[in-house]
Amino acid sequence: MSRRPWVLGVVAALVFGFLYAPIGWLALVSFNDSRSLSRVTGLSTRWYVELFGDARVLDALGLSLRLAATSAVVATAIGTLAAFGLRRAFPGRGAWTVLLSLPLVVPEVVLGVALLGFCVKLAGIPLGFGALLAAHVAFSLSFVVVVVRARVAGLDPRLEEAAADLGASPLVAFRTVTLPLVAPAVAAGAAFAFLLSFDDVVTSSYLTGVGSTTLPVFVYAQAGRRGVSPEIVALSTLMVAVSAAVLIAGVLVVAWRARRASPASTFVGSGRDQGTRPTGG
């Protein structure tokens, strides 16, 4: 029994080492003075300077950010409304639920080919930003619906009924009661949509047009033609650093809010104790 914590610690260390050792080596090689990815000959910021001077990388990054932000806004708005629409029972709700969940299980290759045929042949959308936006909204919408619907299903309808009893209109009740309660799920769905769009390679490769190459497609194409270059390694290191910074910032914000709320809860609790404490002798 006493050996189990030690064994679990070793297993956890091995797992984390297996996961993060390649990332650590990637970060180290990004500062390598030579083009070698197998040994470090010296430390330099040469590849970061060349990266920020490469117009193709900057254009692809700007397109990916615009596409991810736009698709996240559109998918979050539609997905939130769909989640509230599926809250009530109506004929055909099960069929709509299945249709909205299909992009979660359909292979990306099949989805990319289907969206290519739909955008170009049926909808008449030319390859480029418009087709990419339609495709990214289509496959990220399901994730938003799943996340928001899980939160909507747990809402207490008596809160909205109480707001209506106090004279609030349906719009005011939604804005002041319902929306704040589902805001964390909406934010999580928006984050999912943004990351799925920014990270997509397979579907985007079918719908990329001239001058509309996203960053993941650009990186994949460059790695396939000339191998993994030090510039791509530097770009990957920056993406990992930004992701880690956002994660750490989120943890710090949550901890700050928890510390800020704890004195109030302590004060309320002490007030209750003082109010219920028997007086006199």
**Strand extents, DSSP E, the chain:** none
Separation in Å, CA 144 to CA 165, 182, 202, 223: 31, 12, 20, 32
CATH number at residue 189: 1.10.3720.10
Q: Residue 254 domain-assigned?
A: no
Q: Residue 271 domain-assigned?
A: no
Q: Residue 13 domain-assigned?
A: no
Q: What is the pTM assigned to this prediction?
A: 0.78
Contacts of 142 (CB under 8 A, 6+ apart): 79, 100, 101, 102, 103, 104
Q: Which two tokens stand for residue 28?
A: 């180290």
Per-residue pLDDT reduced to its tens digit, 194-222: 988 998 888 888 888 777 888 888 888 87
What does R_g of the chain's alpha carbons equal in angstroms? Answer: 25
Q: What is the full per-residue pLDDT of the chain (281 aa) written as tens digits?
A: 455 677 888 888 899 999 888 888 888 888 888 777 777 777 888 888 888 888 888 888 889 999 999 999 999 999 998 888 888 777 877 888 888 888 888 888 888 888 888 888 787 788 888 889 988 998 888 889 989 988 888 877 788 778 887 887 878 888 888 888 888 889 989 998 998 899 888 888 888 877 788 888 888 887 777 677 788 888 888 888 888 888 888 888 888 878 887 654 444 444 444 444 444 44
Contact between residue 231 and residue 45 where contact means Cβ atoms under 8 Å apart? no
Structural domain of 160: 54-227
Per-residue pLDDT at 78 = 92
Q: Residue 2 domain-assigned?
A: no
**What total of structural domains would you count in the chain?**
1
CA distance 160 to 176: 10
CA distance 38 to 30: 11
Percent of the chain with pLDDT over 90: 9
Q: Residue 180 domain-assigned?
A: yes
